[in-house]
Amino acid sequence: MDTPNTQPEARKKRILSCIQPSGIPTLGNYLGALKNWKTLADEFDGAFAVADLHAITVRQDPAKFRQQIQQVLALLLAIGLDPEQSILFIQSHVPAHSQLAWILNCYTQFGEMSRMTQFKDKSQSHADNVNVGLFAYPVLMAADILLYQADLVPVGADQKQHLEIARDIANRFNTLYSPTFTIPEPYIGKQGARVMSLQSPDKKMSKSDPNPKGYISVFDAPEVIMKKIKSAVTDSEGCVRYADGKDGINNLMSIYSCCTGLSDAQIEHDFQGKGYGDFKVAVAEAVIEELRPVREKFDRYMGDKAYLKDVAAQGAERASRIANRTLQKVMKKVGFVLP
């Protein structure tokens, strides 16, 4: 008689990703990261957060900030994340983030924080508000990750240093006491497009660009997208091909490739003998079609505030169960009297 296979199914690795509600994400944010989150949710045990605590290192308008938090939660749903499958939550709804961040502050050296390059950069761009939160930002990020015993964290080039400090803090705590935190690894998955500014193609597309023609918002109307791409900076050659010195066309080709799945060689073949005008229209139409279902779902979710509230509440409850277990373990090891 065959013996049934009773081996337990291997646990999926947990992946954590957070997005700040500091403005409407750009096409660059979507193609570079958000578009792939649904795949991550299917492949891993996913936790996805609206990182509202991180956003207040810069002064926020309260009414606008509340709206942006709801918008980002609606966007996570619009890109296809399922609150039954993954944990979707608002960071400030789980107090353990702030509690663990304070404890970890006391296990982080001042010198380590002062070497963070992003703090130096942001201190210059927000010279009138260089606050302690901006300085300690990476410790809160470490708390976000370590609370959920995350195995993997998707990181861009500007966040690698922050993941490294999270690993250092976790290793230090584990050594001082006993194994408590999972040591997170960077997740290097399918490379999303690095989308550059439409007006300054040597710079990354950013929602803080002073020139609104330089970026496309995920929720820009079709006619706005068409107008912005038609006005994108190119060169005088007039030939659609990927090459050094053609930053504007290279950027548009990258965007078109990400929206259509076509290779650079196929794009060059398809637009052989055609001018930049035809190509820009094709790129704009591809972007409009790529974002259309996201925008439609977003509008639907934003029109149902009760559902968004339920999603946030359910997510906070699920996140808190995991986070509080970690926090209790940490507090016990440090020596706190638990309630």
Q: Which amino acid is at 19?
A: I
Catalytic residues: 122, 204, 207
Give the CA distances from residue 163 to residues 143, 172, 213, 302, 306, in Å, rounded to whole numbers and listed in that order. 11, 14, 33, 33, 35
Return d(Cα 152, Cα 186) in angstroms, integer: 6
Question: Sheet of 14-19: strands edge to edge?
Answer: 87-90, 45-50, 14-19, 152-154, 185-187
Convert 294-319 to b/e letters by CB count within 10 Å (16 or more is b). Answer: bbebbeebbeeeeebeebbeebbebb
Q: How far is CA 19 from the centre of its chain?
A: 4
Q: What angle do CA 159, 195, 37 make, to 5 degrees?
A: 60
